[in-house]
Amino acid sequence: MTATILSGREAADSLLNRLKPLVKKWDPKLVIVQVGNDPASGSYIKQKLKSCTEVGMRHEHKHLPETLTLKDLMKTIDTLNTDPDVTGFIVQLPLPPHLEKSVPQVIRAIDPKKDVDGFGAYNLGKMFLSVEFEHLPPATPSGVIELLSYYKIPIEGKHAVIVGRSNIVGKPLAIMLLNRGATVTICHSKTRDLASLTKQADLLFAAVGKARMITKEMVKKGAVVVDIGVSRDEEGLKGDVDFEAVQEIASAITPVPGGVGPMTVASLIRNTVKAKERQMEND
């Protein structure tokens, strides 16, 4: 068996093409706030700005100095919250070391109507109560759901195992899968005998950021494997899954790069369009 490759680029292009007429209709604007010069952040931001250009969306990259104080970052957020021309904005993570402990405070400061990353408590809370994305859902897990939908991979009645419990990916993805009828198991660093659980998965999601931690021996024959985790070494981007080995046993698998990453970006664009629609409805 050789797995079907789930191309996030193909699925993302499909979503972005559907968004183009809505971008033209609503004319939203996305602002990306970057503090410092984290190289991975620079790469991700470049992808986001490129996708904005592709769909014709107005965008701005606010690149602030590494030494920025929390007070000045909060002032920037307040300005963006109150600027009627700004539809939505994100604060690119990670922040510099002196601001890391303030990330929850920074996320709380973002107006929920403009929280297009979907990290704030309001949008996370709405996600618990909704199957459809009426709110602004976290971009990566909603991108994963869109990817499964594009390839017509069923969720209802399946056993989904998620390795990783972050607030950004693991936990919200679990809720989205539950809301769509999956039985969900969440694994993490304290889980005993991880392989015994991952081998039960019909749908296996790896979201840890530890290169090639999911081996062929940990995967059930015919499983769908979605590699969300990303890490870098001297050879470049690596996923959490040993791709070459696992594709021999899985029925379908996402590559890294070119899998979940493009879906995250496309979902961010979708959230920005959705935010603009809501703002116009409420005017």
Whole-angstrom Cα distance, residue 191 to residue 212? 18
Residue spans of alpha helices (H) in the chain: 8-26, 39-55, 70-82, 103-109, 121-128, 139-150, 170-179, 194-198, 243-246, 260-282
Q: Catalytic residue among 114, 115, 117, 242, which? A: 117
Among this protein's residues, is 200 annotated catalytic? no
- Identify the residue whose tokens are 């007070």: 71
DSSP-based three-state secondary structure for 47: helix
Among this protein's residues, is 48 annotated catalytic? yes
Identify whether the C-beta of residue 188 lies closer than 8 Å to the C-beta of residue 165: yes
Q: Is 143 exposed, middle or buried (0-12, 13-18, 19+ CB in 10 A)?
A: buried
DSSP of 168-218, one letter per residue? Answer: TTHHHHHHHHHHTT-EEEEE-TT-SSHHHHHTT-SEEEE-S--TT-B-GGG
| H/E stretch holding 88 | strand 88-91
Identify whether the C-beta of residue 281 lies closer than 8 Å to the C-beta of residue 130: no
Whole-angstrom Cα distance, residue 225 to residue 206? 8
Q: Catalytic residue among 92, 115, 158, 171, which? A: 92
Q: Catalytic residue among 34, 48, 238, 247, which? A: 48
Q: Which residues contact 179 (CB under 8 A, 6 or more apart)?
A: 130, 131
What's the token pair of residue 147?
């990817």
Among this protein's residues, is 29 annotated catalytic? no
* Active-site residue set: 48, 92, 117
